Structure formats: structure tokens, C-alpha cells
Amino acid sequence: MTEKDKMLGERMYNPMDPQLVKERLKARLLFQEINLLNDNEKEKRDELLYTLLQNVGKGLWIEPPFYCDYGYNIKAGKNLFMNFNCCILDVAEVKIGDNCMMGPNVQIYTATHPLEVDKRNSGHEFAQRISIGDNVWIGGQAVINPGVTIGNNVVIGSGSVVTKSFPDNVFIAGNPAKIVKTIDHS
């Protein structure tokens, strides 16, 4: 089993494996180029974004700068909007539904490290998938931690730290995030 297989399987893996280092560098070079393009180069930016994020539907709009680990682990539906300075550590799959919006400085982290000091100091790490439903609005500076599932039609308040999963049709906020209210769509 390769280190990449371990990584994608949410097992402990060595992030300094040459294949993984090469893949992160490829993503980094792409998003650095994307982040340097000006507003008059939207066509070129879109082309590079879809090269970096091959598993994303139509209607992608990302305000630079944008950062990610690999890009290929980000899977999204149509009409995804990310405001300035979003960062997705996509060591494991990040699945995002249709019609999602993210405010500035949203951080989505699949990467995590062991709690035990000896294991943590080994340099090995692991990741846990994140799933975000359809029609989700994530407020600015929100953080979504590894292993979280967010239901459909959820609103996440600005500055929230999401450490656990939440069902459909709720407004969540706080650190750690909790349900503030149910959203009535009638």
C-alpha cells in the first residue's frame, strides 16, 4: 500500500512521501498562478481553476487568494462560490453540494494529527473526510474540522468552529458551533 493509498484511506501516512510532495507542489504552483492573475484574466483563471479542481461542477467562482493541498480531493456540485482567502486542506475528500457559498477566510481542514505525542512527533498524520450538503452558506472566518458532515440548507455563522456534524435546515454558530435555530423553509 502506497503512502497515497494510506492517505486516501484515512490511515496514518507519511506526508513527506516523494509522490505526495510532488502532487502538493503541482497544486501549489497552480494556485499561485491563479492567485496572481488580475480581474481582466478571468478566462485564464477559470481554466486554471478547473485544472486544479477537476471534480467541481459548472458555475465555480473563487475570489483569490485560494489555497489547497491537492485539489483533486475537492468534489463539488454546481454554483460554488468562495470569497477571498479560503483554504481547503484536502488530504481526504471534501464533498460540497450544489449552490454553496463561503465567506472570506473560510478554512476547511481534513488533515489532523495523533493526540499521542510520540505518534505526533513521528511526522505521520491522517485525515478524515468532510461533507457539506446543498445550499449551504458558510460565514466568514468559519472553520470546519476533520470528519464533519453538514446537512442541506445549513447556515454557519461567521467565526464558527464546527467540530461535529449537523442535520439539514439549521443555523449553527459559536465555538464550538451549536444549533441556534431551525430554519423553516415554508
Active site residues: 113
In degrees rounded to 5, what are phi and psi of residue 7?
-60, -50
- DSSP code at position 154: -
Which residue, 22, 24, 1, is CA-closest to 111?
24
Give the containing element (helix H, strand E) for 21.
helix 18-36
Q: Which three cell numbers stand for residue 155?
A: 447556515
Which residue, 156, 31, 12, is CA-closest to 87?
31
Return the residue matching grid coordinates 449553527: 172
Using omega within 30 degrees of 0 as the cis cutoff, is the peptide bond preceding 65 cis? yes
